[in-house]
Amino acid sequence: MKTGSLRKYIYLSIIAAILTISLKLGSYFLTGSVGLLSDGLESCVNLVAAIVALVLLTLAEKPPDAKHEFGHTKAEYFSSAIEGGLIVLAAASIIWSAVPRIINPKPLENVGAGLLIAVGASLINLAVSIILVRNGRKHKSITLEADGKHLMTDVWTSAGVLAGIAVVKLTGWLVLDGVVAILVALNIILTGYKLMKRSAEGLLDSALPKEEEDLIIEALEKFKNRGIRFHSLMTRQAGRRKFISVQLLMPGKFSIRQGHNLSEQIENDLRLLFPGSQTTVFTHLEPFEDPESMLDIGIDRK
């Protein structure tokens, strides 16, 4: 595995998913709680999603080639989209299992041991989630961040299930076990929707966040005292890579060497704004004395 690869974090997620599936399903067989079953099914989704993430992250890390000259970084968006879809399917299966339990409630058994095992599984997910989200943000990887947030949702889901089982044990209201499972499913559906929405935005070449574009504008404004103006700033994000395109207006008296050196300095300054990201900057030089320099605003040159 190449140095700097993020796949090691996905392997960690796979190991955590296998452990938590074993623990949660074990607690289900001990207690008979459909709430714990729903929690275990979500962990099965975590495992499948982690394997999909591993495959697509491997693809995203491939260097550019003749057919993909801008790289393969967008593969990460497919990973989080697939994970979102799997989450929704898991939620549907949870609801399917919970409805009969609401209609015909069944008593829970070995609640103490079952809860203890489930808490251990949740602590594993919590630790791995923190590692994935932290490194996803550090390396600008939507795949790691999505997987980490999914695991964190699983932690909150488990907390809700455990609380529901405790209430069932204290009150004897067996129907709450099925109700809690359905509430868990609805929460899972919301998580899946958010992941798919974020993936769609990435595949549609959404611009960088406003705060990042403001940093770019601030960096460009610093060159005004050197006779440089700019327009047609456009940005987009593709996985861990940022793309910045801008038209630079320079005095017509500048030599080719002067214009080239300034544009190189500007491009380098923009790349340094995002040290944790792979940033590609495109600049186009034009003389600001020429009125036609302002006619090609936007992506389609006129």
> What would the mean pLDDT of 162-179 be, rounded to a whole number?
74
Edge to edge, the sheet with strand 241-250 lists 229-238, 241-250, 278-287
The residue ranges of every structural domain in the chain are 7-203, 210-294
**Helices 175-203, 34-60: inter-axial angle, 10-degree rounding:** 20
pLDDT, tens digit, for every residue of 190-217?
877 877 877 777 677 778 888 999 999 9
Type of residue numbered 300: D
Q: What is the CATH number of domain 210-294?
A: 3.30.70.1350
Query: CATH assignment of 7-203?
Result: 1.20.1510.10
Q: Residues 102-127: pLDDT tens digits?
A: 777 766 666 667 777 778 888 888 99
Q: Give 268's pLDDT tier (boundaries 50, 70, 90).
A: very high
The DSSP letter of residue 172 is -
Contact in structure between 252 and 285 (CB atoms under 8 Å): no
Name the residue with higher pLDDT: 118 or 224. 224
Q: What is the pTM of this model?
A: 0.58
Average pLDDT of the chain is 78
7-203 shares its CATH topology with 210-294: no
CA proximity to 124, closest of 152, 144, 84, 149: 152
Residues 6+ apart with CB under 8 A from 77: 142, 199, 202, 203, 239
